[in-house]
Amino acid sequence: MSRTVVACDLDRTLIYSARALHLEGPDRDAPRLVVSEVYENAPLSYMTRAAEDLLHELLGRAVLVPVTTRTQAQFARVQLPATPYAITTNGGVLLHGGTPDGAWSARVRGAVARGSAPIGEVLARVCENAPPWVDRVRTAEDLFAYAIVDRAALPAGWLADLSGWCAGRGWVVSLQGRKLYCVPSAVTKESAVAEVMERVGASGLVAAGDSLLDRGLLELADLPLRPRHGELEDAGYTRPGLRVTESAGVLAGEEILRAALEAATVPSGPQAAGAEASLAHSSAMRR
């Protein structure tokens, strides 16, 4: 029997750092939180207790696929229920039963070699003249690069110039909070999700994300969801059928899971389309 796949980005979509919680009002009215990630023996990421309950309920009704730009090691810190599939490294790694799929990794790396400039060229461009606003440049499993940047110090036009330079060499640039990502165009979340959908014989896709690296995933979805924050919010991203949460921050994650759960209980076909119409409110309609 075919089932709905729910592909959900992690950081600032499903889980939230303390800085990203975006809580307002009196402290006594704050939602109850659970720790979703521990790093160096300290809590790092959270979701609401209600979101955790919704997540467990969703596992019984859909094929949940966590999808993240994190590396395998960074993803391993996140305390989520076990899922048959997970996608890390922005689609470069497909985990099945917790084990990387070697054939998938080889396919992705082959596509990168054919269509993108070597990662060394991109690292040299990002670090050219040792810009003071760029700090701690790293590579993610030799597939893409990321750096911590001082957003306030970024010169006007620098990000656009870097994006244009990278685009001409088969790379995509995304700025998420203080993290600047440079990713080969063949390393995408949506390609890995499409692979999972084919393997499980999925009847539909619900997808959620907040960054420009999630845009292709939302374009692929039957029901796309995004929070009212992040790169896509700043860019005013919309598409037919898009649902934008009422809340920003950690409460948006709760809204996303509730919408995904409702969509996953509806059969595919015309009835599902009607249910999606009742759930989906495009950002254009909201503004």
Query: In the predicted model, what is the mean pLDDT of residues 26-50?
Result: 97
Q: What pLDDT score does 281 carry? A: 36
Same-domain pairing of 165 and 226: no
pLDDT in tens, 86-144: 999 999 999 999 999 999 999 999 999 999 999 999 999 999 988 999 988 999 999 99
Same-domain pairing of 63 and 177: no
Which helix or strand (DSSP H or E) is residue 110 part of? helix 102-115
Q: What pLDDT score does 273 carry? A: 44
Same-domain pairing of 139 and 240: no
Q: What pLDDT score does 83 carry? A: 96
Instruction: Specify the CATH number for the domain of residue 257.
Output: 3.40.50.1000
Residue linked to tokens 């990421």: 45
* Residue finishing a domain among 184, 216, 234: 184
Q: What pLDDT score does 267 carry? A: 55
Q: How far apart are CA 188 and CA 193, in angstroms?
A: 9
Q: What pLDDT score does 268 carry? A: 47
Same-domain pairing of 225 and 273: yes
Same-domain pairing of 86 and 134: no
Same-domain pairing of 277 and 196: yes
pLDDT in tens, 144-196: 999 999 999 999 999 999 999 999 999 999 998 889 999 999 999 999 999 99
Question: Which residues make Cβ contacts (< 8 Å) with residue 95, sequence separation at least 6?
Answer: 72, 85, 86, 87, 88, 101
* Residue finishing a domain among 184, 204, 228: 184
Same-domain pairing of 151 and 201: no
Same-domain pairing of 123 and 264: no
Same-domain pairing of 77 and 194: yes
Domain count, the chain: 2
Same-domain pairing of 102 and 180: no
Same-domain pairing of 101 and 215: yes
Q: How far apart are CA 176 and CA 230, in angstroms?
A: 7
Q: Which two tokens stand for residue 156?
A: 């006007």
Same-domain pairing of 99 and 205: yes
Q: How far apart are CA 226 and CA 232, in angstroms?
A: 8
* Residue finishing a domain among 159, 184, 209: 184
Full residue range of the structural domain in which residue 172 is found: 117-184
Q: How far apart are CA 265 and CA 279, in angstroms?
A: 13
Query: In the predicted model, what is the mean pLDDT of residues 234-258?
Result: 97
